Every structure is written in structure tokens, then in C-alpha cells.
Amino acid sequence: MQPLFDRILLLKRVPFFALLRTDQLRHIVPMLEPAGWASGERVFEKGDPSDRMYILLSGRVGIVLHDDPESTEYVAQLGHGDCFGEMGLLDDLPRSATVHVLETVEALSLSRVRLHGMLQAYPELGIGMLAALSGRLREANDARIKSRHLADNPK
């Protein structure tokens, strides 16, 4: 199938873009820039400036919240179709996590400037973003509750 259609379907599966129609997504596809890293590299480190978000085409990455970039305490592992790095695009703060490449990654990236332009053009995107962020928040809450439960009941 045409790469354009593959990309559109990929975007359709990303919660950020799920509410857009395929004819709207086709305008977004050309704005995505290809990116790639080999296994063992880091996509970015905690504290780096946030300027773009990424959608994984292949490979796997691990997310580390620890201040030490060498740490391998992954709070989440992401794979095909997942996206990361979107928080910084919205709050304009430095990266809150380090992303390690676990398996060689092919990805698509979207810059902050383009995302802001798209938000104006397709307001539905904002709702998709809220849905995705709310999903992340839920996951974080669950993880926090679980870790607190483990701390209270070490056995």
C-alpha cells in the first residue's frame, strides 16, 4: 500500500490524532520528519529543551524518570505506534524524562512550531491531545498507587 496511507493509518492509531479524519491527516503526514537511533543511544535526556514529539514506527524505547541519565529503571517501554515527548511541547518546560533506545528505532518527529500551527488548523487535535494526556495521567496515578501500596506492604 502507498506509504501515505500507511502513515495516515499509523497516525489514526495514535490517540493524539485519532479524532481527525483521514483527509485531514494527509495534511499532517508531510509535516512529520523521519528520525532514527541505534540501540543503546538516547533520544533525549532529562533536562534537555523540549522542541519536538516522536511517533515510533519500529523498535522500542524505555522511559527513565531518574535524574541520572545512565539509570535503567524504566517506568514505561514504548513500541510501534506509541508517541512520546509531547508534554514539553505543551508546557514549554525541559524534558521530564530520559528516553533510552532499547531496540533500534525508526520514528517520525513533529516540531513544536508545526504542532502549534496544526492546533490552530484542526481544533479536534486539542481534544485528542487532552485524551492522550489524560491517559498518561491515569497510568502515572496507577503506578503511584501501586508503588505506595508496595511501600506500605513490603511483603
Partner 1 sequence: MLKRQLASWLLIRNGEERVVLYLSLLYLALGAGMAVGRSSSDALLFKRLGVEFLPQMFFLTSFLLVGFSAVYAEFSDRLHPSRMFKYIVALTGIFLVVVWGAMQNGGSKIAFAAYFLGYGVVSEILLVHSNLYASGFLDLSQSKRISPLINAASRLGGVVGGVTLGLLSSRFPTEYMALVWALTLVEAFFLIAAYHRGEQRIRAKTKPLKKHGRPLVHIREGLEFARRSSLLQIAGLGLFVMIVLISMQDYLVSTILTRHFQNERDLAAFFGWFSAFTNFAVLLLQILTTNRLLRRFGLKLVSLIFPWSTAASFALLGLSASFLPAVIGRFNYTGMMPAFRNPSANLFYSALPGYMQGRARALSIGLILPLGLAVSGLLLMWVPKESVGESLAVFGLLLSFVYIYLKIVKNRIYAASLACLIQQQVYTGIGEELEEIGRLDERVVGELKQLLQQTEDGDNYVAYAEILLHGAPQDAGKILLETLPGKSAQVQDRLLPRIAELAPPGWQDYMRCCLDSVDTHLRATALTELAKRGDVDALRAIHGWLVHTNPRIRAVAAQACFAAQDPVLHEVAERTLRTMLSAEKPGAIIAALSVMPGLKLFSLDDAVRALLQHPDAGVRAAAIAATGAIGAVGERLILLARALRDEDVVVQRAAEKNAVTLMPITESEYAAALDTYFSFFHMQSLLTNYLAQSELAQRKTILLAIAHRHLQRAWDKKSVALHALSLAQQASARQADEAGFLRLVLNEEVLRHIDIALDILALLDEAQMARAISAALASRDRRLRAQALESLRHIENKALVEWLLPLIEAAQDGARWEHTVPDMPRDMNEMIAWCKRQGGQWLRQCAALMEEETSRATPV
For partner 1, the closer of residues 113 and 121 by Cβ is 121
Burial of 17 from C-beta contacts in 10 A (0-12 / 13-18 / 19+): buried
Cell (9 digits) for 130 = 487532552
Rounded CA-CA distance 132/111 in Å is 18
Provide, rounded to whole angstroms, the least separation between the CB of residue 80 and partner 1: 16
Closest listed residue to residue 53, CA positions, set 84, 22, 90: 84
For partner 1, the closer of residues 96 and 111 by Cβ is 111
Provide, rounded to whole angstroms, the least separation between the CB of residue 30 and partner 1: 8
Provide, rounded to whole angstroms, the least separation between the CB of residue 32 and partner 1: 15
Provide, rounded to whole angstroms, the least separation between the CB of residue 117 and partner 1: 8
- Find the DSSP H helices in the chain: 3-13, 22-28, 87-91, 112-121, 124-152
The contact set with partner 1 (CB under 8 A) reads: 1-2, 4-5, 8-9, 12, 21-23, 26-27, 117, 120-122
For partner 1, the closer of residues 12 and 136 by Cβ is 12
Contact in structure between 59 and 104 (CB atoms under 8 Å): yes
Provide, rounded to whole angstroms, the least separation between the CB of residue 68 and partner 1: 40
For partner 1, the closer of residues 21 and 72 by Cβ is 21
Helix (H) or strand (E) holding 64: strand 52-64
For partner 1, the closer of residues 35 and 132 by Cβ is 132
Cell (9 digits) for 26 = 494527509
